[in-house]
Structure 1
Amino acid sequence: MSLPDDDHATLVARLRRDLMDGYDEEIEMEIEDRSVDEALGLLQASEGERSERLHYFSTLFRLQRELVKLQDWVAGTGQKVVILFEGRDAAGKGGAIKRITQRLNPRVCRTVALPAPNDRERTQWYFQRYVSHLPAAGEMVLFDRSWYNRAGVERVMGFCTEDEGEEFFRSVPEFERMLVRSGIRLIKYWFSITDDEQHLRFLSRLHDPLKQWKLSPMDLESRRRWEDYTKAKEAMLERTHIPEAPWWVVQAVDKKRARLNCIAHLLEQFPYHDIEREEVELPRRERHPDYVRHPVPPEMFVPERF
């Protein structure tokens, strides 16, 4: 369908505006990593800072296009993918997960972030509550913390006994081998930050009203027990790094680099390729002379304050 030049220009402008609105979503997410004043200050950023941010966004959008191809390949070929994200509090796991899932279909790629187990779940086989969230064919599941809670917070905070901790270390390699034998591709990431960096991020959350909800009493206690968590992490990596499901450590002091490096590495783990799609043609809307669109009563509209 051809359009007059003026209509065509208007359509292109509207499409561009819609595209930029999608890109703005990433910029809005960036504000989560800064105070409001810092975010507004980006508008007056130096040329070098603007260039660095432009490089970050252009690289991220390129990688996200590849993630869409990966998603189509997973769905089209019936793959089953599980990706675990572990790390200290404020290590940047959630930010990386958001950038991975941001452009993907939630029916194909979903995130699982389970709360603490309830009384009933505490009496179950330890892995039982995680099993129900595993993927079917054509699905990717990202765990924002996983069964490795037992190797970290539960051991450090005394939420499990020594015997339960040892049983976990005996069981988890066999559990993961069983998942892999069943056809699940299991990838495990540990986001690594320094003592100083966690301290800085906790201070940022403490003094920003928009982030204070992220600081729980457990987070604060984990800060005090930094060395205990280090020992727990070292034991976890040593005892659960298996050929069928190795650990991958993401250097996460720089959040943006961590996201890009993690996504690029994730893409390299699969022999994905373009999935052919049938060409889609937008159908003409049917128009009927007897159709009348009834007006909406004014009192039903949300006030336009902005």
Structure 2
Amino acid sequence: MNKPLENSSDAKNEPVTIKVSGKKRTFDIDDPKLPDWVKDSKLSAGGFPYKDELDNDDYEKQLERLQIELVKLQGWMQQGGARVLALFEGRDAAGKGGTISRIRAYMNPRTARNVALPKPSETERGQWYFQRYVAHFPTAGEFVTFDRSWYNRGGVEPVMGFCTPVQHEQFLDETPDFERAIVNDGIHFFKFWLNIGQETQLERFHDRRHSKLKHWKFSPMDVAGIKKWDDYTRMRDLMLERTHSAHAPWTVVRANDKRRARLAVIRRILLAIAYDGRDLDAIGPEDQLIIGSGPGFLS
């Protein structure tokens, strides 16, 4: 008889010693009490520019206006056959899934779909690397989001040893040309990197680990990743430097505050596409402290 899968909330994890903000810290993900050094820095980590999260009432009002515009955008796409492809990358717990969920909340699911692929099958491992992603690209009138994408090979795979250095370098070399083909075919193409601070990530991991609703989101990969913050940072910086281009730029979003990040992402999409009936007053201006372009916005 097969042993049932162990619930992630039951798995025991050893405390880890990590360097955070220049200091050695011991972090025990299984301790129900969140350390003060995490709690006190969860918003300000990594130089986040605001001292407080966006007020929820203000957020909900802005979000509703933007979601109305997304519905208008989708109607325009269906009438004219426009295609949108938006991929979301970032460290674990950066808020990719939540942002995608708010984008798609009121859109017609028949032509607005999300792609979140599992690890490649044996057949897929033998194919051209980009092949399994291309199969999910939008057809006429479709709005497609990717919750992680081909950029797995730019960050997770080299850090965790899931690809060779040669494969990693080949990916960095080929990706700009691959993305040029996407744009040249007329697809509205967006690449979002949601950037969070180290203490922010630890707080979100801790929340997942001790939540009866969200513990399934926390995995052994997350535990392993806690100790590899600096490795992920190096790969992130290299990936953004090598794959940021005029035709397919990276949009970087400071995402310690999920509310501000979600609004910034939606606003960027709506401002980039001149759809019929677009209400620029309802969309509003971008927050340039939260959203910017390319690796330079990280510094």
TM range (shorter): 0.7 to 0.9
Give the letter aligned to residue 107 of structure 2.
Answer: L
**1:121 aligns with one of 124, 131, 142:** 124
Question: Given the alignment of the two structures, is residue 65 of structure 1 paired with residue 68 of structure 2, yes or no?
Answer: yes
- The alpha-carbon deviation at position 197 of structure 1 amounts to 0.4
- Counterpart residue number, 2:96: 93
Give the Å deviation of 1:212. Answer: 0.9
SS at match of 1:126: coil
What is the alpha-carbon distance in structure 2 between the residues aligned to residue 159 and residue 114 of structure 1? 16
Q: What CA distance in whole angstroms lies between the structure 1 residues aligned with 2:242 and 2:177?
A: 12
Q: Could you say which residue in structure 2 is the equivalent of 1:161?
A: 164
Larger Rg: 1
Corresponding residue for 1:19?
A: none
Structure 1 residue 228 displacement after superposition:
0.4
1:75 aligns to what SS in structure 2? helix
Long gaps (5+) in structure 1: 1-48, 276-306
Aligned to 2:8: none
Amino acid in structure 2 at the alignment position of 1:67 = L
Alignment partner of 1:80 out of 66, 76, 83: 83
In terms of fraction of residues, the more helix-rich structure is 1
Equivalent of 2:196 in 193, 198, 205: 193
User: Residues 140-179 of structure 1: matches in 2 within 5 Å?
Assistant: 140-179=143-182
Task: Write the deviation string for residues 42-86 of structure 1: whole angstroms up to 9, x where unpaired.
Answer: xxxxxxx9x932211111111100000111111111111110100
Q: CA deviation at 1:155?
A: 0.7
The residue aligned with 1:219 is 222
TM-score with structure 2 length normalisation?
0.74
Partner of 2:112: 109
| Structure 1 equivalent of residue 296 of structure 2 | none
Residue 180 of structure 1: aligned partner:
183
* Correspondence 1:56 to 2:59: yes
Residue of structure 2 in register with 1:41 after alignment: none
Which residue of the partner structure matches residue 24 of structure 2?
A: none
Name the count of aligned residue pairs.
226
Which residue does the alignment assign to 1:297? none
Question: Distance between the aligned counterparts of 1:221 and 1:74, measured in 2?
Answer: 42
Q: Find the residue that maps to 1:187 and give its secondary structure.
A: strand
Shift of residue 106 of structure 1? Answer: 1.1
Structure 1 residue matching 2:143: 3-state secondary structure: strand
Deviating beyond 4 angstroms after TM superposition, the runs of 4 or more aligned structure 1 residues are none
Counterpart in the other structure of 1:36: none
Q: TM-score, normalised by structure 1?
A: 0.72
In structure 2, what is the Cα distance between the partners aligned to 1:55 and 1:179? 36
Q: Distance in 1 between matches of 2:115 and 2:108?
A: 15
Structure having greater relative contact order (Cα 8 Å, sep ≥ 6): 2
1:136 matches 2:139: yes
Q: How far apart in 2 are the matches of 1:183 and 1:266?
A: 15
Paired residue for 1:210, among 188, 209, 213?
A: 213
SS at match of 2:166: helix
Counterparts of 2:73 and 2:151, CA distance in 1: 26
Tell me the C-alpha RMSD between the 2 structures.
1.4
For residues 149 and 52 of structure 1, the distance between their equivalents in structure 2, rounded to whole angstroms, comes to 34
Q: Deviations over 1:182-234 (max 9, x none)?
A: 11121100000000100111111111121110011112111110110000100
Amino acid at match of 1:80: R
Tell me the SS of whatever aligns to 1:213.
helix
Tell me which of 242, 257, 261 is aligned to 1:258.
261
Structure 2 counterparts to residues 1-16 of structure 1, below 5 A: none
Q: Secondary structure at the match of 1:111?
A: strand
Q: Which letter does structure 2 place at the counterpart of 1:201?
A: R
SS in 1 for 2:162: coil
Where 1:141 maps in the other structure, the secondary structure is: strand
1:274, distance to aligned residue in structure 2 (A): 2.9
- Which residue in the other structure is 2:282 paired with? none
